[in-house]
Structure 1
Amino acid sequence: MGLKARSPKWVHGFVDRHGKARFYFRRKGFQKVSLPGLPWSPEFMAGYQKAMSEKPVLNIGADRVVPHSIRALAVAYYDSAAFRALDPDSTQKVYRNIIDRFCRETDKDGQAYGDKSAVTIKPHHIENLMGARAAKPDSANGLRKVLREMMKVAKKLGWREDDPTQGVKKLKPKRTGGFHRWTDAEIAQFEKRHPIGTRPRLAMALGLYTGQARQDVIVMGEQHISNEVLDWVRKKTEAKTGYQLAIPVHPELRRIIDATLSGHLTFLVTEFGAPFTAAGFGNWFRDRCNEAGLKHCSFHGLRKATATRLADVGCDPLEIAAITGHASLKEVQRYTETRDRKRAAQRAMVKLISGTEVANPIIQLANQAKKP
């Protein structure tokens, strides 16, 4: 148990009959790989990263897959360039869970959807599937999304000429406000619990002053900064748009980076000096929020706080997107809909009276950060 507790995810260890510790990478759907050395050592982590980067073994159980079925199409999709381009620790994992769960589900006659034909599925079938998930719009829309990606592969394979998901509308999700946006008071409360020089403070600063998501900040390092500009392509959109960002490094972020010991290629590492996974980082930051008495806050809420702060100092949606990397201005609007309307109204009136624009928003944002 001690070996397992100290090992990275999907690593299993044991002591053989000669008293030697042995470690293996064992992940469902992947080839079993023997790892050299001890956990977290350079040779071990090199082997671990290589095993993580390998493609899944897609022929497991292939003899039980019905030809041209939904399950067969899923196997083909997992082997496609489009799927391999997705982030393996976030998007791939989410898509796999949706598809695999759908394949296991059964209809009223007890037949698994995975065994049904991918060639004969029609738009009304998909509408019925989404209707059955009406109580959970996000689940219904997620299924529609992955089926659309799978049908692109079906067309390339020549299984069908049309896409049955076209014309099927998304369900309108319930307006819950999504992730909670951090307030200035909550940011100050977190900073009081986690002072400059600690990893939690650096993590928060990276989120707050870059506006990026957890899968981005965990791989950021000094090598990505040139002339105090962070050159970045969002991990979520790089396969789709390649949207290149050039984010000026905020002076407060630079101060916190310089005050935090690292010595690694990434600013943020685990207590063992290893890189974070997106899920692991999310859980770790969740615990740091709990320590600060902020159980309702999450790392993603910092991204919304960044967008709102930019809006409050007079940035338009294009300027905000240039920092946050949103590909849709509609999404920017959704992120900033909880902005300080009183402050925005005051600024708008000043503009109307003076007939001029406000001062440089970047300078205003820096000044705002200095205020208690």
Structure 2
Amino acid sequence: MMRKPPKYCQGFLDRHGRSRWYFRRPGFDRVALPGLPWSPEFMAAYEAATKGGVQTEGAGAAKTSPGTVAALVVSYYRSAEFLNLKPITQRTYRSTIEPFREQHGDKTVAKLKREHVKAIIAKLADRPAVANNRLKTIKILMRHAVETGMRPDDPTLGIRKLRTGSSGYRTWTEAEIQKYYDKHPTGSRARLALDLMLYTGQRRADVVRMGLQHLRDGVLTLRQSKTGTEVEIPLHPVLRASLDALPKKNMTFLLTEYGKPFAVAGFGNWFRDRVTEAGLPDGLSAHGLRKAACRRLAEAGCTGPQIMAISGHKNLKEVQTYIQAADRLGLAREALKRQLAADEERTKIVKPAGQV
């Protein structure tokens, strides 16, 4: 007998014969769910949907006045553009849209002017990354407002992002990786977590889904949850050793202390504690290991397409920075080698003629 799907979940077969599942809670917007009911990826998205759903009907709609920012947000959540996003991207968008709706939901969309947008961004100037995310949010909503006729123009056109002075998440160094290894030996969940990220170069949302079902003939095959890109990654011997130390009774590689698959946010918090246990500084994240994986590949002489085949990046520009950094390091080492040879030549003591 087939197990019933979780509450508020509905599915159907599309015209290609593929299963499509959605979370449809009365009074809330629809959320697409990946995979099949009760699978780890399905349940992680289901958990997020039950906690993060946004009201679009009933009581929520009754409080939303037509033409306001709140009404625009509701309209955007119902749009094909939003519903066709991957669940992980939907959650990311919500996390920036909801604070904006909370602060400006009662304001009229048609009256929003360029100077208003600039003032909103200016208030966040001390946090440029937050300011840029807020600007991105407003741009998305204003584009939807124009498309739906809520206003004739886009007041965000030409407004530039703030300089952050940061390259994003910090890349782990080799010394930091070794220090983590010294604390967490092979066979521990903490060691496996780092090896999965470092030797696959995947995002934490995909790492927590990895399991025996993705492994065949020494190759890890996975469709990325954010981009839909399918990657095929031959197992590195270090990662193979970590996996071989695991009991084979569970499909998912990484499990909580209760034997359940990690939620993405929960894994981030758990991994941060393991980093702290190793005596490493704040600021080292799971995403920093994805960058370290790309750095290592570049330093090994891999080309952009070769790195992209592992990491799943779709834009060559994103991986080119690692290649350029590796090239600079190689050139610097070659320069030092030549300098030392020249120094040795200059300091060589020439013995006087006839001296034995």
> How much does 1:197 deviate?
1.5
- Tell me, in whole angstroms, the C-alpha distance in 2 between the residues paired with 1:180 and 1:69: 39
The CA deviation at 1:46 is 9.4
**Distance change (3 Å), C-alpha of 1:207 and 1:344:** farther
Q: Does 1:311 align with 2:311?
A: no
Whether 2:230 is the aligned partner of 1:244: answer yes
Give the Cα separation in 1 of the matches to 2:233 and 2:329. 28
The alpha carbon displacement at 1:162 in A equals 3.8
Contact 2:55-2:61 at 8 Å conserved across structures: no
Letter in 1 for 2:285: S
Aligned twin of 2:155: 164
- Tell me if 1:118 matches 2:109: yes
How big is the shift at 1:278?
1.2
2:217 matches 1:227: yes
Q: 290-299 or 90-99: which moved more? A: 90-99
Judged with a 3 Å threshold, the aligned counterparts in structure 2 of structure 1 residues 230 and 46 are, in CA distance, closer, same or farther, namely: closer
Give a deviation string over 1:272-301, Cα, whole Å, max 9, x none: 111211110011011111111113332222
Please state if 1:256 is matched with 2:242.
yes
Q: Which whole-Å CA distance do the structure 2 matches of 1:207 and 1:48 have between them?
A: 19
Matches for 1:1-372 after TM superposition, within 5 Å = 53=49, 56-59=54-57, 60-86=59-85, 88=87, 91-105=89-103, 113-175=104-166, 177-238=167-228, 243-296=229-282, 297-334=284-321, 339=326, 341-343=328-330, 345-346=332-333
Contact 1:312–1:344, Cα closer than 8 Å, also in 2 = no
The alpha carbon displacement at 1:324 in A equals 1.7
Alpha carbons of 1:261 and 1:156: their partners in 2 closer, same or farther (altered >3 Å)? farther
**1:210, CA displacement in angstroms?**
0.8
CA gap of 1:222–1:348, structure 2 versus 1, over 3 A, is farther
Seen in structure 2, the aligned counterparts of structure 1 residues 316 and 219 have a Cα distance that, compared at 3 Å, is: same
How far apart are 1:333 and its partner, in Å? 4.0
In structure 2, C-alpha distance between the alignment counterparts of 1:263 and 1:218, rounded to whole Å:
17
Q: CA deviation at 1:346?
A: 4.4
Query: 1:309 Cα deviation (Å)?
Result: 0.6
Structure with higher Rg: it is 2
Residue of structure 1 in register with 2:17 after alignment: none
Question: 1:289/1:87 Cα in 2 relative to 1: closer, same or farther (>3 Å)?
Answer: farther
- Gap change, CA 1:137 and 1:231, over 3 Å in 2: same
In 2 relative to 1, CA 81–344 (structure 1 residues): closer, same or farther, beyond 3 Å? farther
Superposed CA offset, 1:246-296 (max 9, x none):
222222212211221253332111111112111100110111111111133
8 Å CA contact 1:68–1:118 kept in 2: the answer is yes
Amino acid in the other structure paired with 2:60 = G
Q: Please give the TM-score of this superposition, normalised by the length of structure 2.
A: 0.72
Q: Quote how far apart the aligned CAs of 1:200 are.
A: 1.0
Identity %: 44
Q: 1:319–1:159: structure 2 CA closer, same or farther, 3 Å change rule?
A: same
Q: Contact (CA 8 Å) 1:196, 1:260: kept in 2 or not? A: no
Unaligned residue ranges in structure 1 (runs of 5+): 1-26, 32-41, 106-112, 351-372
Contact 2:44 2:263 in 1 (8 A): no
Runs of 4+ in 1 over 6 A off after TM superposition: 45-49, 347-350
Counterpart residue identity of residue 157, structure 1: T
> 1:158 deviation in Å?
3.1
Query: In 2, distance between residues paired with 1:157 and 1:262?
Result: 53
- 8 Å contact kept, 1:212–1:303: yes
The change in CA–CA distance for 1:63 and 1:348 in structure 2 (over 3 A counts) is farther
Unaligned runs of 5+ in 2: 1-24, 30-37, 338-356
Contact 1:98/1:142 (CA < 8 Å) preserved in 2? yes
Q: Which moved more, 1:313-322 or 1:208-217?
A: 313-322
8 A Cα contact 1:70 1:117, kept in partner? yes
Q: Give 2:3's aligned residue.
A: none
> How many Å separate the matches in 2 of 1:286 and 1:179?
14
